[in-house]
Amino acid sequence: MSMNKRSKRKLLVVMVLLGMALASVLALTAFEENLLYFYSPTMVKNGEAPSERKFRVGGLVVAGSVERATDSLLVKFDITDNAESMSVEYRGILPDLFREGQGIVAMGAFNGQNIFVADEVLAKHDENYMPPEVADALKAAEQQ
C-alpha cells in the first residue's frame, strides 16, 4: 500500500475529471462533424453549398425528370424551388411517397464530376405534408 486513502481519492477525482474532459471533446467533435446544413437549389446554384462535405438539399421533384435505369437501381431526377433546379443521383430504393411534384429532402454530397449523389432520400409519410425546409425554400425563391 504505497498510497494513502486521501491521495487515492484525489487520483480518482482527477481521473474522473480527465474522463469527462475527454468525453466532452469527443462529443463536441462528433457534434460538429455531424451537423448537416440545408441548401435550396438556388443556394446551390449560387455556390453556397460545400463541395467536400455532406449536406441536405430539398425541393419539388420536377415533373418528367425522373429517369430510372432498367438494369440497375440507379435513379436520376431534378428538384426545384421554382427558381432554380438541380440534378440528383441516387442508387437504391426510393421511399413510398417519392413521386413527381412531391417535396423531398435528399442527403448527400457532390462527387468528383460535380453531380450531387444522394445516399438518402426522404419523402414524408403524408401526402399533404411538405418538409418545412422545402416550404421555406419555395417561399424564399418566390420573393426574389
Partner 1 sequence: MIPELGLFALIIAFSISLVLSAVPLIGAARNDATLMAMARPAAWAQLAFVSLSYAALTYAFVVHDFSVLYVSQHSNLVQPLMYRISGVWGSHEGSMLLWTLILALWTAAVALFSRGLPEVLLARVLSVMGMISAGFFAFLLWTSNPFERIFPVPADGNALNPLLQDPGLAIHPPMLYMGYVGFSVAFAFAVAALLGGKLDATWARWSRPWTTVAWSFLTFGIALGSWWAYNELGWGGWWFWDPVENASFMPWLVGTALIHSLASTEKRGVFKSWTVLLAILAFSMSLLGAFIVRSGVLVSVHAFATDPARGVFILIFLCVAVGGSLALYAWRSGTVTSTGRFSWLSRETALLLNNVILLTAAAAVFVGTMYPLLVDALGIGKISVGRPYFDTMFTLVAIPLILMMGIGPVMRWKKDNAQRLKKELSLIFAISLSVGIILPFVIDGVLNIPAGLGLAGALWIAISTLQILYKRLKSGARLPLSFTGMIMAHLGMAMFVAGVTMVMTYSEEKDVRLEYGSTYELSGYDFKLIGVNKMVGPNYTGDEGHLEVYDGDNKIADLRPQKRLYTTGSSPMPMTESSVDTRLSRDLYVAMGEPVGEDAWSLRLYYKSMIAWSWMGCLFMTFGGLLAVSDRRYRQKRLPGSETA
Which parts of this chain interact with partner 1 (CB under 8 A)? 9, 23, 26-27, 30-31, 33-38, 54, 56, 68-73, 91-94, 96-97, 105, 122, 124-127, 129, 131-133, 136
If the CB atoms of residues 69 and 115 are measured against partner 1, the closer one turns out to be 69
Degrees to nearest 5, angle at CA 89 with 77 and 106: 85
CB of residue 34 to partner 1, shortest distance in Å: 4
What is the CB neighbour count within 10 angstroms for residue 43?
19
Residue 36 backbone phi and psi in degrees, to 5:
-110, 120
CB of residue 71 to partner 1, shortest distance in Å: 7
CB of residue 35 to partner 1, shortest distance in Å: 5
Name 136's Cβ contacts closer than 8 Å, sequence gap at least 6.
none
If the CB atoms of residues 25 and 115 are measured against partner 1, the closer one turns out to be 25
Beta strands in 49-84 (DSSP E): 55-61, 67-68, 74-80
